[in-house]
A and B are shown apart, each in its own frame.
Chain A
Amino acid sequence: MNPEGPSDVQRVPVTTPATELGNKLPLQVWDLTVAYQRTPVLWDVAFQVPPASLVAVVGPNGAGKSTLLRAILNLIPRTSGRIQVFGNDFELQRRRVAYVPQRESVDWDFPVSVLDVVTMGLYREIGWLWPVRKKHRARALEVLNQVGIADLAHRQISHLSGGQQQRTFLARALAQDADLYLMDEPFAAVDAATELAIIQQLRAMKQRGKTCVVIHHDLQTVPDYFDEVLLLNMRVVANGPIDKVFTPENLQKTYGGRLTLLDEVSTAMRRREKSL
Chain B
Amino acid sequence: MGLVGWTWALDGWIVVAATLCAMSCALLGSFLVLRGTSLLGDAISHAVLPGLAIAFWATGSRSGTGMLLAAVGAAIVTVFLIEALRRSAGVDRGASMGVVFTGMFAVGMIMIVQVADHVDLDPNCVLYGSIELTPLDQWSIGGWLIPKAVVTLGLTFLLNSSFVWLFYKELLLTTFDGDLADSMGFSSRFMHYGLMSLVAVTAVGSFESVGSILVVAMMVVPPAAALMMTDRLHALLWWSMGLAALSAVTGHASAIVVPSWFGQGSTLTSGMMAVSAGGLLLVCGLFGARRGLVTRWWRQRSFAAQVAADDVLGYLFRLEERAGGVGTTSAQGKVGSNPTVADVGLLSANLSQPLKHCQRIVAQLVQRGEIESHRDGYQLTEAGRHRAQLLVRSHRLWELYLVEQAQFEIDRIHDKAEAWEHVTDESMRQSLDQATSQTDLDPHGSQIPPEVSPPRT
Contacts and interface: CB of A to CB of B under 8 A. Distances in A.
A120 B232 contact: no
A101 B179 contact: yes
A206 interface: no
Most chain A C-beta atoms within 10 Å of own C-beta, residue among B168, B173, B183: B183
8 contacts: A74-B182, A94-B184, A94-B185, A111-B231, A111-B233, A112-B176, A116-B233, A156-B231
A70 interface: yes
Contact of A111 (B34, B90, B173): B34
Given A99-B180, A105-B177, A128 B90 contact: no
A117 B176 contact: yes
B230 interface: yes
A9 to B, nearest CB: 30
Given A37-B90, A112-B232, A156-B231, A120 B177 contact: yes
Interface in B198-252: 227, 230-233, 235-236
Contacts of A192: none
Interface string A178-206: 00000000000000000000000000000
B422 to A, nearest CB: 18
Contacts, number: 73
B118 interface: no
B183 A97 contact: yes
B231 A75 contact: no
A70 B183 CA distance: 9
A123 B184 contact: yes
Contacts of A156: 231-232
Interface in A90-108: 94, 97, 99, 101, 105-107
Interface string B71-112: 000000000000000000010000000000000000000000
Interface string B161-194: 0000011111011011101101111100000000
A124 B176 CA distance: 16
By size class, the interface of chain B is: 20 to 34
Closest 10 pairs between A and B when the two form their complex, measured CB to CB: A156-B231, A99-B183, A73-B183, A124-B184, A111-B231, A111-B233, A94-B185, A106-B177, A111-B236, A101-B179
Contacts of A110: 34, 175-176
Contact of B180 (A112, A116, A120, A158): A120
B185 A124 contact: yes
B186 A128 contact: yes
Interface in A101-154: 101, 105-107, 110-113, 116-117, 120, 123-124, 126, 128-132
A74 B188 CA distance: 13
A75 B183 contact: yes
Contacts of A124: 184-186
A120 B233 CA distance: 14
Contacts of A107: 36, 176
Given A111-B227, A112-B232, A120 B176 contact: yes
Interface string A239-267: 00000000000000000000000000000
A158 B230 CA distance: 13
Nearest to B291: A109
A146 B258 CA distance: 60
A75 B182 contact: yes
Nearest to A172: B180
Nearest to B166: A129
Nearest to A156: B231
B180 A113 contact: no
Contacts of A128: 170, 186
B170 A73 contact: no
Contacts of B230: 111
Nearest to B233: A111
Contact of B173 (A123, A129, A158): A123
Given A99-B183, A110-B176, 4 more contacts: A73-B183, A123-B184, A124-B185, A126-B169
B176 A101 contact: no
Contacts of B236: 111
Interface in B345-368: none
A85 to B, nearest CB: 12
A180 B175 CA distance: 25
Nearest to B236: A111
B179 A112 contact: no
Contacts of A70: 179
A83 to B, nearest CB: 13
A117 B168 CA distance: 14
Nearest to A91: B185
A128 B179 CA distance: 17
Contacts of A105: 177, 179
Nearest to A97: B183
A105 B176 CA distance: 10
Contacts of A116: 172, 233
B36 to A, nearest CB: 8
Contacts of B177: 101, 105-106, 120
A99 B173 CA distance: 14
Nearest to A128: B170
Contacts of B34: 110-111
A176 B186 CA distance: 14
A68 B153 CA distance: 48
A123 B233 CA distance: 17
A173 to B, nearest CB: 9
